[in-house]
Amino acid sequence: TPLRLVIPYPPGGPSDVSSRIVMDRAAQILGQSILFDNKAGASGMIGAEFAKNQPVDHHTFLTTTTAMVCITRHLQPIPFDPDRDFVPVARMTTSWGAFAIHPSVPANTVAEFVAYAKANPGRINYGSAGLATITHLFGEMLSLEAGIRMTHVPYRGSAPATNALLAGEVQAQFDQTTLPHIKAGKLRALAMLAEVRQPDFPDVPTLQQTGYGKDGGDSWFGILAPAGTSPDAIARLDRAIARALAEPELAARVHNGGMRTTYLNPADFRARIDAETAMFGTIIRKGDIKLT
């Protein structure tokens, strides 16, 4: 029987690309074929609900993201219970970005930025890819933890927000789209939004290393199984995913897509989901963030 992976996002996006690269190889390792089923819409909710409602067959799985299981539940009613309707199989990959500022801001470290923001309340605007996206919540998290006031300016996607930062319309952004401009010397990186320092930017600390965002909050991609899927089927796929992610050629393909391989087994993935669900819930509640 072929494996079936429901991808709740459109073809070509980061969750689709990493799912196909990793799960194609995992299926080969298992000696099975795999069907990819893109069921996009409503920020992943349509695909998740579809996967939840399939009869349990022990070979249907779902791609998931940080936003889908850790963030959206705090903002609106969703058609599934992330903790009860699905079981973690493995985390596969993580996309990472930077906390970047316009060079006109007189700060070379997060500590200097916080001091400047405190001395100049209301002077710092930060751009995001949209209301309640992870790129917004990072800014809100820093504001809450550092006790600073920044004005949030939502754009329609990451690219327009980065253009606004390059133009000096906003002073900061928390996103992946800043990376090429940091390399080109047009923006300054204060911290990496990643669990570990990134080889491309060895001198830039992670946000955690600067004392903020201790519970992580990366934008990761993983695999869930509908509740009721046999532990054997989950363990088998988990082992195949772990083997696939350990292959240097596959890691290079993932890296070329702007991501890192960041494997977690089912128990560790569950712990990460729980920690980030709590963290984002706190940020959304304290920041009084609403979708309307």
Q: Which residues pair with 152 in a beta bridge?
A: 126
Whole-number pLDDT of residue 13: 84
Q: Where in the chain is the domain with CATH 3.40.190.150?
A: 3-95+218-286
pLDDT score recorded for residue 84: 98
| Number of Cβ atoms within 10 Å of the Cβ of 246 | 11
H/E element, 193: strand 188-193
Average pLDDT over residues 28-46: 96
Classify residue 155 by its DSSP letter: -
pLDDT of residue 238: 99
pLDDT at site 96: 87
Best CA proximity match to 260, nearest among 185, 176, 178, 204: 176
Band (pLDDT 50/70/90 cuts) for residue 85 is very high
| Digit-coded pLDDT (tens) for 134-164 | 999 999 999 999 999 999 999 999 999 999 9
| Rounded-to-integer distance, Cα 18 and Cα 250, Å | 10
Residue closest to 16 by CA, chosen among 5, 26, 27: 5
What does the pLDDT average to over 182-197?
Answer: 95
Q: Which CATH class for the 97-210 domain? A: alpha beta
What's the whole-number mean pLDDT along residues 117-127? 96
Residues 6+ away with beta carbon under 8 Å from 54: 6, 60, 226
At 37, the amino acid letter reads: D
* Ranges of CATH 3.40.190.10 domains, the chain: 97-210
* Distance, CA of 163 to chain centre: 21
Query: Class of 3-95+218-286 per CATH?
Result: alpha beta
CA pair distance 281, 103, nearest whole angstrom: 32
Which pTM was predicted?
0.92
pLDDT of residue 66: 95
- Alpha carbon distances (Å) from 120 to 86, 112, 124: 46, 12, 8
In this predicted model, which residue has the larger pLDDT, 101 or 13?
101
Question: What is the overall mean pLDDT for the chain?
Answer: 96
